[in-house]
Structure 1
Amino acid sequence: MEHLTPAHFGLEPLDLRKLTPQEEFWRDHQRWLQDCGYMLRPRYMLDWQPSWPVNVRGTEYEDAQPLIRALTINDATRLSDGAYVTLKIIKPSLHPYEVDIAMSLCSKQLASDPLNHCVPIYDVLKLPEDNDKVILVMPLLRGWREPEFETVGEGIYFFRQLFEGLQFIHKQHVAHRDISILNVLMDGSMYPDGWHPCNRRRMRDNFRLLAKHFSRTERPPKYYFIDFGISRRYDPDDKAPLELPIRGGDKTVPEFMDDINLPRNPFQTDIYYVGNLIREAVINEYKGFDFMWPLISDMVQDDPAKRPTIDQVVKRFADMCKKLRILKLHARVGLRDESFGAVRDFAHLFTTIKYTLMGIPPVPTR
């Protein structure tokens, strides 16, 4: 298949030797961020000069990597301890509740709760020249889909964190309202030497090398809900709040297909979001998770009133897991369209034996 380039669409190739207008914002605020305790990568230094020759494209060089979402997202190193962080620009005029909700969900009182899977907020930086822009400082996380799941147990571990994380959020009387494939991330437990934020398959410190990683079974990650921009907190006495729909990243919500002006219960919509994420990104992608269909089918019913509450989901899921035998939990879950599945299954036997001898359980634990 022919590789498509910008020229195929009548676009000029991106000149990696120049910052995009969105990237220039970060360059212009580099010294201020440094004074706040956060160091940007070399590309955003005020005196940056490309490290590659003029006649070279530069794609293999670290400082040639442009930000994909430069308008709102960058990464940095926290000077106090060397930790890698994510910087996110938000506008309170557009998302007036995001800072308050995000900060409250990771408050000192709640942060130690093992069921809390809300992204921590380390800092809130107010831009000196713009009252309608603040920067949230969070840990550097990565997409949850790569590397792929290897076993049923790894999937169980993922589902459990999604369910208990949403249960935690709902117990705080908060509806997320925008749970999707992009708004669930995981930490870097599997990547002992980190990764590059612009290309997660590469190392940060040596961009030409692939990032080393372990399996989810060996180094279990923690999964996080992010982006509380359209989340809302409700009165604890209001057990069934009604809110006009706001369409998030998942555009398939059944109740949003009818009258958009009809108020809906956002907690019921959250149930659909999580169920649909598991249906589309896991069950439909991987073999081995068909046992989840009864629960997921109930979570994605067209009638919101017929969906289980998150407490009911957590209980049903726990009961289902008790019935799964250890061989099932160890079983490999290849992609549904994979080739040479039988060969991969045979090779997986040796991995299972290795984990058993090492005393590593089939369902990861932290």
Structure 2
Amino acid sequence: MADNQLPTTTDPKQDRTQLRPGEVFWRDHQQWLQERGYMLRPRYRPGWVASWKDKDPMYWNYEDSKWLKADHVIDATRISDGELVVLKRVSHAEHPYEKEISLFFSQEPIASHPHNHCVPIYDVLDLPEDDDYFILVMPLLREYDNPRIKSIGEAVEFFRQLFEGLQFMHHCCVAHRDCMNLNIMMDPKPLFPQMFHPRDDRRTLDFKGTAKYYTRTARPTKYFFIDFGLSRKYHPGDMPPVEPVIFGGDKTVPEFTEPYDPVNPFPTDIYYVGNLIREDFLQKTTGLEFMGPLVADMVQDDPSERPNIDEVIRRFEQIRRSLSWWTLRSRIVENDEARGDRVARAVHHFIRTLVHVVRFRNPVPTP
């Protein structure tokens, strides 16, 4: 069933007691998904009636008032063990390589390789009524910077995993082609042992409280690349490839300006990752200036002038070895912090760091 065939139930801006058009697909497939081992939230079960209807105007306090962020992605619970998962509906016609590449990184021996940072695929469900669509089942992840990375050592570990994961993909002859910040996520289970509500990550699973979490230094976590809809896998004999430009999410990529000449997509991946660090860290915070020269080379306008991922890692390791214990323990300062907040956060960070030191926690928290 294609998206444009989904029936419209109501104006989504007016009434949360009714499903939006994109949600109807999931309700209509709820029983089928349950039979395959995945339970959707009450909102998407047949016969659902809004729990707040006719009794409480503050609908935002009820978990079944939450719409989907994207019509093609929904959270679910794996019935066999209660794990929270994500179901992603994909069109093979639109993304002909996504299943192949996703499964490539999810099958042994590649799946368990310590340098593999590609999101694992638990299951693939083929829709019975439409040969074009299938559903990928993945773990529930969280935005890589939510909660924010607090210390320089935590940021250094994030960069290390980011480079390591990209190197692993490139050594497998896979170019991600859209590795912007929204497609880098983290495993939330170490930081959130009680997890959080999939549609409001500030709240607990029962929607009755605030989700509590640990720092990355206390509970090291792993970061993942997601979304291989634009990715390509090449034969080793075809390296380096030259292909038409594919436009990903980061519109600042120099290759995305006219003329759109065919390019090698691997240097574009280098730009994506370098620009992530530039925009999300160097331009917004103080304390990570040591990454500046490497990032500047990664985001050069001329793709041929950018270092390849092996060179990036070689230079990054030199940087990492040069950082002192105290530097790695230091706080990352947000540039837009108010003066009062800066003092309070500095005191809080100092106390938290003392706890980490007393408990012999590594300033670079490797999982």
Q: What residue number does 2:107 align with?
A: 107
- State, as a whole percentage, how many aligned pairs show the same letter: 50
- Could you report, residue by residue, the CA deviation over 1:192-236 in whole angstroms, capped at 9, with x for unpaired residues? 1111111111112x2131111111111112110000001111121
1:119 aligned partner, one-letter code? V
Report the more deviating stretch, 144-153 or 25-34: 144-153
Structure 2 equivalent of residue 344 of structure 1: 345
Q: Secondary structure at the match of 1:327?
A: helix
What does residue 299 of structure 1 align with? 298
Q: In the aligned structure 2, how far is the partner of 1:61 from the partner of 1:320? A: 48
Residue 321 of structure 2 aligns with which residue? 322
Could you say which residue in structure 1 is the equivalent of 2:195? 194
Q: CA deviation at 1:238?
A: 2.8
Q: Tell me, in whole angstroms, the C-alpha distance in 2 between the residues paired with 1:135 and 1:49.
A: 26
- CA gap of 1:202–1:109, structure 2 versus 1, over 3 A, is same
Equivalent positions of 1:41-120 (< 5 A) are 41-54=41-54, 56-69=57-70, 71-120=71-120
Given that residues 12 and 19 in structure 2 are in contact (C-alpha distance below 8 angstroms), is that contact kept between their aligned partners in structure 1?
no
- Cα distance in 2 for partners of 1:225, 1:30 equals 28
CA distances 1:17-49 after superposition (whole Å, capped 9, x unpaired) = 111111111110000000111000111110211
Distance 1:73 1:130 in 2: 17
Is 1:271 the counterpart of 2:270? The answer is yes
* Distance of aligned partners of 1:58 and 1:346 in 2 relative to their CA distance in 1, 3 Å threshold: closer
Separation in 2 of the partners of 1:121 and 1:349? 40
**1:271 corresponds to which letter in structure 2?**
I
* 2:304 maps to 1:331: no
In structure 1, the residue corresponding to 2:295 is in which secondary structure?
A: helix
Offset at 1:237? 2.1
Q: Which residue of 1 aligns with 2:123?
A: 123
1:6 matched to which residue of 2? none
Matches within 5 A, 1:21-36: 21-36=21-36
Q: How far off is 1:181 after superposition?
A: 1.2
Q: Is residue 267–residue 308 contact of structure 2 (8 Å, CA) maintained in 1? A: yes
Whole-Å separation in 1 of the counterparts to 2:158 and 2:164 = 10
Secondary structure of 1:108's partner? coil
Q: CA deviation at 1:344?
A: 2.5
**Correspondence list, 1:192-341, <5 A:** 192-204=193-205, 206-260=206-260, 262-339=261-338, 340=340, 341=342
Unaligned runs of 5+ in 2: 1-10
Which ranges of structure 1 fall in alignment gaps of 5 or more residues?
Answer: 1-10
Q: Could you tell me whether the CA contact under 8 Å between 1:118 and 1:165 is conserved in 2? A: yes
Looking at structure 2, the residues matched to 211 and 349 of structure 1 have their Cα atoms a distance apart, in angstroms, of 23
Number of the residue aligned with 2:4: none
Q: Distance in 2 between matches of 1:12 and 1:115?
A: 43
Q: Does 1:144 align with 2:149?
A: no
1:180 aligns with: 180
- SS of corresponding position for 2:74: strand
The answer to whether the 8 A contact 1:268-1:309 is kept is: yes
**C-alpha distance in 2 between matches for 1:33 and 1:281:** 38
The 5 Å alignment of 1:347-366 reads 347-366=348-367
* Secondary structure class of the residue paired with 2:130: coil
Whole-angstrom CA distance in 1 between matches of 2:352 and 2:194 = 23
- Cα distance, 1:56 vs. partner? 1.6
Verify the 8 A CA contact 2:95 2:230 in the aligned structure 1: yes
User: Is this contact kept in 2: 1:17–1:64, CA < 8 A?
Assistant: yes
Q: Deviations over 1:85-121 (max 9, x none)?
A: 0000000011111100110012111111111000000
Tell me if the contact between 1:61 and 1:208 (Cα under 8 Å) persists in the aligned partners.
no
Tell me the secondary structure at the aligned position of residue 236 of structure 2: coil
Amino acid at match of 1:15: D
Q: What TM-score results when the alignment is normalised by the length of structure 2?
A: 0.94
Deviation at 1:12, TM superposition (A): 7.6
The SS at the match of 1:313 is helix
1:38 aligns with 2:38: yes
- Please say which of residues 50-59 and 127-136 is displaced more in the overlay: 50-59
* 8 Å CA contact 2:105, 2:118 repeated in 1: yes
SS of 1:301 mapped into structure 2 = coil
Deviates further, 305-314 or 56-65: 56-65
Distance 1:53 1:301 in 2: 55
TM-score norm. by structure 1 comes to 0.94
Give the CA RMSD over aligned residues.
Answer: 1.3
Shift of 1:53: 3.7
Distance apart, 1:13 and its partner CA = 4.0
Partner amino acid, structure 2, of 1:323: S
Distance in 2 of aligned mates of 1:164 and 1:308: 15
Tell me, in whole angstroms, the C-alpha distance in 1 between the residues paired with 2:13 and 2:93.
35
Asked if the contact 2:87/2:137 (under 8 Å) is kept, the reply is yes
C-alpha distance in 2 between matches for 1:109 and 1:29: 33
User: Which residue does the alignment assign to 2:7?
Assistant: none
Q: Partner letter of residue 104 of structure 1?
A: F
